[in-house]
Structure 1
Amino acid sequence: MSDPDPATAWALTRAIATRRYVNVMIAEADGVVRSNSYPRKYPVVSPTPPATPWTIDLTDHAGVFRFAAFDLDAKRAEDHEQAAEDLGVLVRILRAENVPHVVCRSSPTGGYHVWVPLAGAHKPLMQQLAAAARAVLPSLDHGLLCNDRTGAVRPPLTPHARGGASTVMDGDVDELRTEAATTGDLLRVVAALRELRPTPDPAHQAPTGPVDHSHRTHRQLPTWGADHMATVAGGADPSRTGYLCLLAAAVAGWSLQDVEHAARTAPGMEHYRTRNSPTGGRELRTASEAASRLRRQWEKAQERAAAYRYAPRDRTERDLSELQGIVATAEAMMTAFRVSPGRWARAEADLHDSTILTALSWLSLRAGARDVAAPLRTLATVTGIPSTTVDRALRRLRSAGWITRVAVADGLDAAVWRVSERFSTTDIQDGPLHDMTARPPAELFDARSAVLRELEDRLDAGRHDVFTRAGLGPTARRAYEALSLQAGTEEVVSGRAGLPLSRVRAALTRLRRHGLITRTRDGWRRRLRDQRGRVARALGVDGILRRREQQYNNEREQWSWWNAETAHQAGKRSRRRTPATPQPVLFRLTDDRGGPESWPAYPRGADGRGDHRAAMRYVRAGALQQLRDSELAA
C-alpha cells in the first residue's frame, strides 16, 4: 500500500482537529527531524500541510476529550507480537459494544493507534478507561488516554518522521468526523475491560470464554489450569489464557515436551497455534514461529512459577481502605527508587534493600494485607538473594524504619512484616486523613493489577543465576530490570533504575558485551531471545539459585522435623507437617508418636542431644521414610 497523499492527510486533520492549531515537529539545519517532539504550533486554517509530521490534541479548548486514542507501542521487535495481541483484544471489545473506531498502523516500524470519536468525555471517565485498559493491555501507553493538557497523537494518514505514514487498517476515517461514542459507550468498554483484568492469584482468574468440558489433558493440572486449558479458542484474550495454561503446567511440574504436546490441540493454547490479525481475527503461525514463541513463554512461566509457589493467598479485606493504602505505598515506593538514588542505589547493600522491599510489597499486594508472613528463605528464593544477605537487609530496613516487624518468628511460624507508610507520607500529610480521595473499588483493583504486574516483572527479570554476585552482580541486575518494559536511552534507563548515569553506562556496556541487550536507534533494549541462561553457563554460575532453593527446602524440612521432635518431647501434639513447597513424606505406618503424617524420632548423639548433622544427611538423602520404617520395625 502506497503512503497517503499529504494533502489528503491534511484535509482529514483540518476536519477533525479539536483546536485551532496542530503541533508540528521542527527540522534541524540539515532538514532532518531528529527530536521526537512537537513544539511548534501550526494553524489549522492553512490550506497547505506542514512540512514536518504533526499531531492533534485529544481535547478541545475547554479540556473535554473529543477522541480516545489507544496507543499500542511496539518500538522493539519483541513488542510487535504483544501489541498485535492487545489490538485483537481491544478491537473485539469495541465491536462487541458497537463502538465506532478506526485502527491505524502508526508507522512502518510497528505499533498501532486505535481512534474512537467521542461525543465529549471528561477527565474522570477517561482516567477510568485508562486504568482499566492499562490492567489488560501491556503494550498500551495508558497515560495518553487521560492526558488533558498535552495529550496529542498523529492523526490517520499523516507522515512519520522516519518515513512512511499512519495507514488505516480497519474502519472508516469518515467516522472520525462525527462525534459518536457517548459516556454510556465508554462505561460499557470499561466494564468489558475489567472483566478481563488479571487477578493477583491465577487460581481465582475466571476463563475469558466458554469452556470445553470434554477436553482432557494428558497430565494432571490444577483445577484452575485445566479450565484455562479447555477455554474455547483461548477466550477473549488468547495471549493471557495461553500464558495461564503454561503457568499451571509449570506449577504442576510439566516438561517442555508436555506443553508442546498440549499446544497442538488444547483449546486454551490457541495463542501458540495462531496469532492475531489486524482486523481482530486469527491467522496461522509458521511452525518455527509457533515453536519459538512457545519456548520463550515457557521459560517465563517457569520463572514465574518459582515465585508462585511462595505467594500468599489473596486475603483482600472487605473494607478496601487497607488495600488503598497498600497500593499507594507500593506506588510511592517505586517512585522513591527512581528519584532517590542516593538512598536506594548508592552501594550494593542499598540495591539489596530495595529488592527486599520490592518483594515485601509484592507479597503484601498479592495477599491484600499490610501484614505478611515472610520467611527468610522464601524472600531469598523470590529475590534470588542469599538468605544471609536477606537477613542483613531486613535488619537495615527495620533499623531505618522502612519496615516493621509485627511478629517475631516462632517455631514454624515465620516473622510477620509490614512495609512502612513512610513512602506515602507526603500524600497523607497533604490534608486530614479523612479528606484523602479514595479510589473507587473498580479503579483500585485496576491500579493494584498494574502495580502488581510491574513488581512481578522486576522480580522475574532480576531473579537469575547471571545476576548473582559471582555473575554480573546487582548493579547490572538493576539496569536489566529497568529495560523490562521498553527500550530507552541511557538517561531514560538511569531514571528508571534510579542509578547514576556513569554506573548505568558501565552496566549497559557489560550487559551488551555478554549479549544480554542490544542498542537500536531508539535506545537500549533486551534481546528478543532471553540469553541469561547462556551467559550464566559461560560465567560458570548456572544452577546457583536452583542449588540454593534445594538447600532452603532441606533446611525447612529439618526445622519442621526438629520442631515436631521438641513438641513430642514436651508431651504436645505435633503439628501436621506443612513444608513451604510440596515435598511430602507419606509415612505408611503409625505408632505412639502420632498419625501417618508424623515424623520419625530425631537423631541424637551419645549425650542425648539432637544430632543436626545426621538429620540433615537423612533429609538430603530423602531417607525419612526408610528411617520411619526401620524405627517401627525395631
Structure 2
Amino acid sequence: MPAPGVSNRTGVPSPSTAPKINPHTGVLPLFESVRVDLQDVFLQRSPRLAIRVDTRNRHGQWQHKYVERALPQQAPRGPYAVYLSSFFGRFRWLCFDLDDKRGEVGPDLATLLRWLEEAGLTYVVAASGSTGGRHVWVTAETLLESTLVKSIAVAAAKRLPTLDYGLLKSRTGAARPIGAPHRNGGRSELLLPMASRRAADLLTPATCGNPSDAFTRLLLIIDAVPAPQDIRPRVVGRDQLAEILDDEQGPRLAGTPRTALDRDTMSLLTRRPPADRVSEVCGSLLTKLALRRWTLPMVEHLLAERPYREGGLLHLCTAPGIGPLRVMLDEADIEEKLERQWARCVAYAATLPLDEEALERSENIGDVVALVGQLQTAADACPERWATEAGPADRAALDLFCLLALRSGSTMLSLDVRRAALATGHGRSTMHRAFGRLSLDSWLGRATDNGPAGTYELLPITASHPAFESVARGGTQGNPPPVGDRRPPLISLLQARLAAGQADVFAYGRATRHHSGGLGHHAGRVYQQLAERQERALSLAEICYRTGYRPRTAAKHLARMRDLLVATRSVMTVQHECPTCQAVPGERCRTAAGAVLRRRGADQHATRQTLAAERSSTPYYRPRTGSLVAAAKALGTHGRLAARARRYAVEIELYRWWQQEEAWMHTPKAGIRTGVQTHEEQAALVLTTLPRQPRRRYPRGADGRGDHAAARARIERRIATA
C-alpha cells in the first residue's frame, strides 16, 4: 500500500497533492516537499507579545472589531492581525496594502515592485482575501524608525491611488498575515515567491537581506517620481454631490464653515456614548461636522477640551480593551487616528444630499431652479399633452423629477420605478413607460448607470423641443424673482400636487366584482387644479383651459367628484362690481352726480344686473380636501396605496434575498460555516438584508432550484408579524 500523498508509481505525487496552477499568476509552481506554515512564522517573529483578533456579534458573524489578545502558540481560527511595529513604534515589517476598492490594483502593484527591486529590497506578495487586493510584505534586518516608515508611506500614497497607508503611519498598525482567514470568506494566499520555505526566509529578519540603508534608497526613489496634483489619495464616487478640497487644512468640503452647532450635534459631542456605540457616535459626529464645512484644525481644537474627549470624540482618544473598558492612547496615536477618521468621514459626507442651507449657498442651485421653472412653464403651456390617456402619469413623473431636483440641487437623478410609483400614486409599470415617453419627448435624458435604479437628467427646453412653440407663444414677461424666493414656492406646489395624486380616491380602474374602481387619475388632474387654487373658485372654462380637457370630459369628472363631496359647486350671484359707475362689490350704485341710486323697483344699474345674471348661469367649483379619505372608503379604494407599498416591499426584499443567495453560491465555502444560521426571534426582526443579519437559506424546490413563491410567502408572513 503506498504512503499517503504518493501514487502507485514510486516517487510520483498523487493527484490530491500534486501542484496546481496558481490562479493569480497562471504559472505552475515548483513541487515543494515540505510546506512551511507562514502563520507560525509571523507569530514567532512578531515584534509584540500580542495580536489583534476579530470578534463576533450575537449572531455569530465577524463584525470587523479587533481586540488585543496575548500572543498564542497556534494561529487563531478566525480573522486576526499581527502588529507591524514594536511597543515603542519601531517597525519590523512594512505591509503595503493595495485595496481594489480604490481602483485598479495591477498598475500600482507593478510600480511598487519596480521601486523595491531598484532599491535592492526583497519582498513577498500575497492575495489579501477573497477580493482582488494585494499585500506586499517587506522585512527589515533591524527595526526601522517610525519617521522613516511614515515618510515612505506618505510618499508612496501620493503616487499609488490604491495604497491604504494608514497602518504604516500608525504605531498600532496591524495586518492579517499570510494564511489568515478573511471575515467574508477565503484566506490570504501566497503569490510570490511560490515556495513557502523561500517566503519564510524573506519574512525572517536574519535571512531577508534588507538593510536599513535600502529603505532610505527606497524613499529617494519614490520621491524622484513626480506626484500628481492631489497630495492625498481618495476615492471620488459617482454619487459625490460636494467638492472635496485638500490643502494645508486637511480634507474638507468646499464652503464656508458654520461654527454654530445645532442641538443634535452638541448632544453627540458632550454626552458619553454607550460602550457598544463609541465608534458609531464618533463617525456620526465627524460627518455632521464635515457637512458644516469644518476643517481638521477646528476638530483638533475640540480634542483639547476634556468634556469632548470623554464625549462624542471618545473613540479618537481610546482603543477597545477587555469588555467595556477602553485603553487610553498617547497624543501621537490620537493625531494619527483623527486624520484617518476625518478623511473617511469627509469622503462619506461628500456623497450625502445637501441640507437646505448648503443648497442655498451652492453655485448650481440657481441653474436648477431656473431649469425647473422653465420645465413647469413649458408643461403648463401645453395642457393637451397631459390630457391624453397616459398624460397624468407622464406629468406626475415629470413633477416628481422636478421636486427631487429642487431638493437635491442636481439635475442628474437616480430613481427606481417603485419609489416613483409610491410617490405619484401610479403603478411601477406605468412609471416605467412614463419614463420612456418623457425621454422620447426630450423632457428627460437617460444617463449611463450600472446601479439598481435608472439615472435620468432633466433637459432644458430647446428649439427642437415639442413644447418650444407653446412656451414662446405663452411665455411670461418680466424678470423672475430671486432664487431664494422661487425655490420654496415651487417645492410647496409640487409637493401638494403629488400628494393630491396619491389619494386612494383617484385610484385607476373600473369597478368589478373583485376590484373596486376609483375616480381615475384624469379626475385627479382636475382636482389638482382645484386644490392648487383653493383660495378662489374656478369656472368650468378655466378648468378646461388649465387641464386641456374638453368641457364634457371635465364636467363628467366634476360631477363624479360632486357626488362624493370631493368638490362643491358654488354660484356667484351677489357682490358684483358695476360696469357703469365702477362701484366695487359691497357698494350701492350711484348716479352721475354721486347720489345713491334709488329708483323704484331697483337700486342697481341695468348693466350690473345683467352681469349678475350672466355669472349666476356659470358654475364655479371648489375642492373639499377633508373628504378624500371618506370618499375612498365609499368607493372601496381606501388602503390601495398602502397595499401597493407592502407589495413593493415584498418584491424588493425578495430580490435582495435572491441576490444574497447568488452571492453566497459563488463564494468559496472553505472555512465558512454552512447550514441554517437563524435564531428564535428572527421572525420579530425588521425586514432587512444587511450583511450583519444572519444568512437565511433561500427556499429550494425538489429539483434544487430556488422556490420564489415559497420565499415570497415567508417574507409576507414576516411582514405580517413585524
Tell me the TM-score normalised to structure 2 length: 0.37
- Structure of larger gyration radius: 2
Give 1 or 2: higher helix fraction.
1
